[in-house]
Every structure is written in structure tokens, then in C-alpha cells.
Structure 1
Amino acid sequence: MLEIKDLKKSYGSFQLHCSLKVEEGCITGLIGSNGAGKSTTFKSILGLIRKDSGMITLFGKDVDSLTRQEKEHIGVVLSDSGFSTYLTLTDIAAVLEAMYTNVKKTEFLKACDHYQLPVNKKIKDFSTGMKAKVKILAAISHKPSFLLLDEPTAGLDVLAREDLLNMLRDYMEEDDTRSILISSHISTDLEGLCDDLYMIDKGRIVLHEDMDTLLGQYGLLKMTREQYETVDKQYFLRKRKESYGYSILTNEKQFYLENYPQITMENGNIDDVIAMMVKGEAV
């Protein structure tokens, strides 16, 4: 569906250089700290900024050559975008109907009603969660094949985030050829939603893994300095010095459970991976 090869973009001392792929029918997550390059990558995909070099293809075509009709198959939510707060959902429905060939005002308003959004109330009077729902509904109103979502759950409470994630799951269940690329700072959102995950740090992809593999095979070894000297290190990814010795990130949890049962093992999660990949030392 989407493929990025050797995308490069420089801003002063910051340099983006990344490659990634979103397969048809899959939800792919992109994680990284603020300033790591997530938004720059998204804006490059959309042509909002000009890339220095590299190739970005979507639907099998260079994104720069997509026709207006082909662009209608893209739905977008950017973290710093939104509608005028003085509009109502009835106003927004009219705008969307004028913008997209296959948006029906009545269908959009029906969807708003389904998610308990008042159609004649101004956006400025909506809660943060309600505003986030509007952005998602607008992005999927024209039934796009590809969704690009930059921090769609930022600032939301647990219940509001779950509502948004359910909206995305419903969107994917309607058509198994659809795809999503989503970024988020909230790891639990991605753990329960994504099929695979990329991690970007300082403009470069430092990790790509299937979500099932990450959650099932990654782990944190907790060991003393003496244990560290004698253990097999072939499956160590990162290490970090601790008061008791070392914390080690591994992608072969079972190997150490079977061969070193005396060493403490904790199940890995996205937060652990982020912390170790960014702050840990190479082994």
C-alpha cells in the first residue's frame, strides 16, 4: 500500500533518513520521542514538505504523481490540524460533501449521531474527546483505502481513547484491503491495535518488528555484574547499567528462560523497548 525508500529531509542539524512499508490490510505503528521525525515523515508522504531525496509510493505510484481522484482514497488526521471551532457538524458535512465525490451529508451526520456527537452544536463547545472523534469521522467519511493518523489520541482520557480505537477497528473490519499508518505516544493504544511497529529515533528507523513478536519474544533480563560476565550475549540488543548490575533487552526471551532460569526475566512492552533502544547502550 505505502512504501518509503531512503527518504531524506534536513532541517539544520536534524536529518531524516528512513525507510518503511505499510502492507495492504495492515495497521502499522510509528513510535518515537518528540522531534524524532514522525511528523516530518507524515508531511513528506502528503507532499506538505518537499523531500530532499528518496522515493515514496502509495497505491503503487509515486505520491507526487497521484491524481485528484487517487488522492480521494487517502484519509488524514494531523496532530496540529482541525476545523474552525465556530462550525457545526452540519457545516462540516456540507464542506466534506463539496470536497469529496462519494461523501453524502446525511451519511456523515448519521455517523456523528451514532457516536453521540451533537450535529448543531459548535465545535468550540465540544470536549477534547468529541473533537478527536470529529477528526476521525471526517478522515473516514469518504471511505478511503489508506489512513494516515498523527497522534489521533493525544490528550484524551482512557475512555475517549478506547472510543477512537474502536472507530478505527470498525473502519478496518468493513474492508480488509484498507491500511493505516498511525503514530502515538501512548504505547497501550498501539499494542492493542497495530499489526507491526516501526521505531524512529533521531530521524532514523532503529527497530521494525511484528507486534506479536515484540510482545511475545522480547523481554528484559535483570542480572548482576557476575551473571553478565558469564551469560551468552548473542541475543542482547541493548544494555543499561543499574544499581544491581544490568538491565538487558533481548528479542529471544525463551532462549534465556530455558538456559538461564536463575536470571530474572520480565516481559517486554513498547515502553520498555523505547526506553532501551533510545537510552540503552549497544552490546
Structure 2
Amino acid sequence: MLIQLDHVKKEYEDFTLELDMHIPENRVTGLIGANGAGKSTTFKLMLGLIRPDAGDVKVFGKKAGELSAEDRQKLGTVFSDSGFSEYLTVQQVGRIMQEFYPDFEPEQFYRRCEYFHIPQKKKIKEFSTGMKAKLKILLAVSHDSHLLILDEPTAGLDVIAREEILDLLREYMEVPGRSIVISSHISGDLEHFCDDLYMIDKGKIVLHEDTDRIMEEYGLLKMSEQEFTGLDKEYLLRVRKESFGYSCLTDQRTYYLENYPMIVNEKGNIDEVIAMLVKGERV
């Protein structure tokens, strides 16, 4: 197991985060939730930047706060508010990476920079948002990292730039034993990229599910009040009152297709699942 968070609790004056998460090898795990839900705090716990008030956080089988320099070289990270000085050039950054990471592959790194049209002699401050984002990913995957922790790596990018980054991450995952933990506000990125999803709301995990199952078995049921009254509610996760009657979230869409063919039964997407889990009421 690359990451283990067991009965983890982190308390602040007006916010408490409680987590149980396990990230195995060969897995792309998405972390979703609104701003302030606890995603960034979760990443900081994984990296040992903050310590839990209770529970255990382990990375590569060791406590996150006790990782050696060699262990940290196996980590690749991307955060919106971190990175190299923007007064450096890519060539200067490459030389710094060679000093700190014995497994840094300069030839491959510069070749990829050329492929992604990232100038090597310009200062980073002159780059576009997309170029800066691609550079961060290239640096994270260019030193044989075993685990990537990526906080909103595609934020602010156009469709083409996002797809280029996701293609680079898919290539990274072709090597056995690697994993990625990624957060994104763009549900489409997660739907087609992640193997499983954790959703955090107000400091608690409210959903952990394989992405394929969300796309296939989660559904949004829409019905009148009369239909709702006669509905078997055993497999409903959330309910919301609407002007026409009720919307219901289920993780057993097939059951309702077979037993209630008269009601509207739509495949769920991640945005709808998030909205219903946050705004809907428990049955």
C-alpha cells in the first residue's frame, strides 16, 4: 500500500477532518469536494507537512513525517502555490533537479519540453498558464517518482492543454507499481482518468467508489410525489424535493430500471452525484 490513512483526525478551530483512505499501487485515485472540504489538508497530511491529531498516516509503509530524503525522491508533487522561482529558466531548473534527484533524467526532460513547446531559455515568469502547468507535471514525472500527488494540475487550462497533461500522466502510469492521487474541479477529467474516487464534504468522506461503478450503476431517478410514495427506498442514497416531485440518487440503477420502468431513470455523472450527496437529504 503506497498511502494509508487510518482513523486520521485533524482539528482546527472551526474545522475537523476525519479520514480513512488507502491508495494501492497501480491506481489513479481522484479526490473531489468543494473548496474548503478538506482536500488540501489531506494532501498536506500525506506529505507529512502537517501532523494528524489522531490516527496514522503512512507513505511507503513509513509515517509520513518520518520519510527519508531517499523516500521523498520517490514522490512527485504539483500544487498551484508551489514551484521554482519564476525568475529561473527551464535549463536552470533542470540543473537544480539534477543536483537534488539522482534519478532525474535530463535528456528525457528536455526532449519532452521541446515536444510540449516549452522554451528552455526563457524565464518561467514569461510562460503562459498552460506552459507553467505542463512544466510542473514534466518535473514531477522526470525523476522516476513512484507516487504523484497532484492538487488541481489542470486548473485554468483549455481543453487541449488538459488533454495533453492527462496523456502525459497516462504514459507515466504505464510503468507497473506507480500510483497517482489527483484532485480536480473538472469532473470530465476524473471520469475518464481515475480508477476510483473519494469525495470529501465538510471534513468527512461521504463517498468512495470505483469510477466505472459510478458511471454504470449510479443513477438519478425523477418522479412524481405519487410515484415516490410507492417506491422501494432501500437503495436510495439521497432524496431532493423538486417542483415536479422528487429527484433521488441511487447506486442500484439497474434495480429501479427493472422494477420501476415508468419512472425517469438517468445515468449519473460525477457532477450530479456530488450535487445530490451535498444537497440531498438522507432517506
Instruction: Tell me the TM-score normalised to structure 1 length.
Output: 0.97
Count of equivalent residues: 282
Shift of 1:19: 1.0
Partner of 1:252: 252
Separation in structure 2 between the aligned mates of residue 232 and residue 104 of structure 1, nearest angstrom: 58
User: Which residue number in structure 2 is paired with residue 226 of structure 1?
Assistant: 226
Higher alpha-carbon deviation: 92-101 or 65-74: 65-74
**Cα deviations across residues 133-175 of structure 1 (Å, max 9, x unaligned)?**
00001111111000000111111111111111111001111x1
Shift in Å, 1:66: 2.0
1:107 Cα offset (Å): 3.0
Q: Counterpart amino acid of 1:275?
A: A
- 2:249 partner letter: L
SS in 2 for 1:282: coil
Q: Deviations over 1:173-223 (max 9, x none)?
A: 1x1210001111110000010000000000110000001111000000000
Q: Which residue of 2 aligns with 1:138?
A: 139
Contact 2:9 2:52 in 1 (8 A): yes
Contact 2:3–2:46, Cα closer than 8 Å, also in 1: no
> Cα RMSD between the aligned structures?
1.0
Moved more, 107-116 or 222-231: 107-116
How far off is 1:2 after superposition?
Answer: 1.0
Task: Describe how 1:13-92 pairs up with structure 2 within 5 A.
Answer: 13-92=14-93
Query: Structure 1 stretches of 5 or more lacking a match?
Result: none
Q: Measure the CA separation in 1 of the matches of 2:66 and 2:252.
A: 43
Deviations 1:238-278 (A, max 9, x none): 01111000000000000001110100011101001100000
CA distance in 1, matches of 2:25, 2:105: 26
In the alignment, the residues of structure 1 paired with residue 143 and residue 96 of structure 2 have an alpha-carbon distance, to the nearest angstrom, of 12
* 1:180 aligned partner: 180
Q: Distance in 2 between matches of 1:79 and 1:32?
A: 17
CA distance in 2 between partners of 1:251 and 1:18 (Å): 22
Mapped to 1, the partners of 2:51 and 2:178 lie a distance apart of 26
After alignment, is 4-13 or 265-274 more displaced?
4-13
Contact kept? 2:49, 2:65, Cα under 8 Å: no
What do residues 92-112 of structure 1 show as CA deviations (whole Å, max 9, x unaligned)? 101111111111433321221
Contact kept in structure 1, 2:45 and 2:64, CA below 8 Å: no
What SS does the corresponding residue of 2:173 show, helix, strand or coil? helix
Bigger CA drift: 7-16 or 23-32? 7-16
Secondary structure (helix, strand or coil) at the match of 1:33 reads coil
Q: Counterpart amino acid of 2:77?
A: V
Larger CA deviation: 25-34 vs 136-145 = 136-145
Which letter maps to 1:18? L
CA–CA distance in structure 2, aligned partners of residues 124 and 279 of structure 1: 41
What is the distance in 1 between the residues matched to 2:180 and 2:200?
17
Q: One-letter code of the match for 1:281? A: E
Q: Does structure 1 retain, via aligned residues, the 8 Å contact 2:28–2:196?
A: yes
Q: Does 1:115 align with 2:116?
A: yes
How far does residue 22 in structure 1 lie from its aligned partner after superposition?
Answer: 1.0
Partner residue in 2 for 1:166: 167
Secondary structure at the aligned position of 1:240 is classed as strand
Contact kept? 2:51, 2:65, Cα under 8 Å? no
Q: Give the aligned residue type for 2:253.
A: K
Aligned-pair identity (%)? 55
Displacement of 1:114: 2.1
TM-score, normalised via structure 2 length: 0.97
